[in-house]
Amino acid sequence: MGRSLRSIADSVITRVTKWFAIMAAVAAGIIMLLSVVDVVSVKLFKWGIPSAIEFISALNVLLIFGALPFIELERGHLRMEELHSYLPKGFSHVLKLAAYVIEALVCAFFSWRTIFLIQEMVAGMERNPGTVRFPLWPFVLIVCLGFALLAIASIVAFGREVAPYQKLKLESSTTSNPDKPEPK
């Protein structure tokens, strides 16, 4: 029997977010390398990498928005466990589901609005004001993709949270009824 559409979508989004997390890790390595080389060259040779701070700032976008969707899917985010311990289990579960829905809506809205910003930046040929004038729109595109992936990751996390309860409901409805004979 084939896999369900939900499990296929779950595995695809997990793979995509893993690749974004790998890109974030590469960005972290480049940030560290740029920082070390810039500081050492300034101290030893009195010469630094032009626009190193701007490059590092731009790579921080990839570092943050590349890793966030993967962290959401792996449930690695910070939670307020102390608050949940005082709430009834059912209310806590509903609150968690509501948070996933709100997160998905807010991130989808931000992603949608960022598309308009990208269009303005491309039309206006907006560039970094530093000594190396690289275009800024690719980094805003990363923000847009990051928010879109975070919205999708929230929907997948919502599905993962609901799936065990659907399975329990399904199992309880398919148990044999003693009054009704099972078909042969």
pLDDT beyond 80 at 105: yes
Measure the CA dihedral 29/31/33/34, to 10°. 160
Whether 38 maps to a domain, the answer reads: yes
Beta bridge partners of 135: 127
Scanning the chain, the segments in alpha helix (DSSP H) are 5-45, 52-73, 81-86, 89-123, 137-174
Whether 178 maps to a domain, the answer reads: no
pLDDT in tens, 110-169: 999 999 999 998 998 888 777 788 888 888 999 999 999 999 988 988 888 887 666 555
Give CA–CA dist 99/130, Å, rounded: 40
Whether 148 maps to a domain, the answer reads: yes
| Residue whose pair of structure tokens reads 């101290």 in the numeric block | 43
Q: What percent of the chain has pLDDT over 90?
A: 32
Give CA–CA dist 165/62, Å, rounded: 36
Q: Which residue has the higher pLDDT, 43 or 176?
A: 43
Whether 182 maps to a domain, the answer reads: no
Query: Total domain count for the chain?
Result: 1
Whether 55 maps to a domain, the answer reads: yes
- Domain of 149 in residue numbering reads as 5-173
Write the burial class of residue 144 (CB in 10 Å: 0-12 exposed, 13-18 middle, 19+ buried).
Answer: buried
Main-chain dihedrals φ then ψ at residue 127, nearest 5 degrees: -130, 165
pLDDT in tens, 14-39: 899 899 999 999 999 999 999 999 99
Whether 180 maps to a domain, the answer reads: no
Query: Around Cβ 158, how many Cβ atoms within 10 Å?
Result: 18
**CB within 8 A of 23, min separation 6: which ones?**
62, 66
Average pLDDT for 59-84 = 78
Is the pTM value of this prediction over 0.85? no
Whether 168 maps to a domain, the answer reads: yes
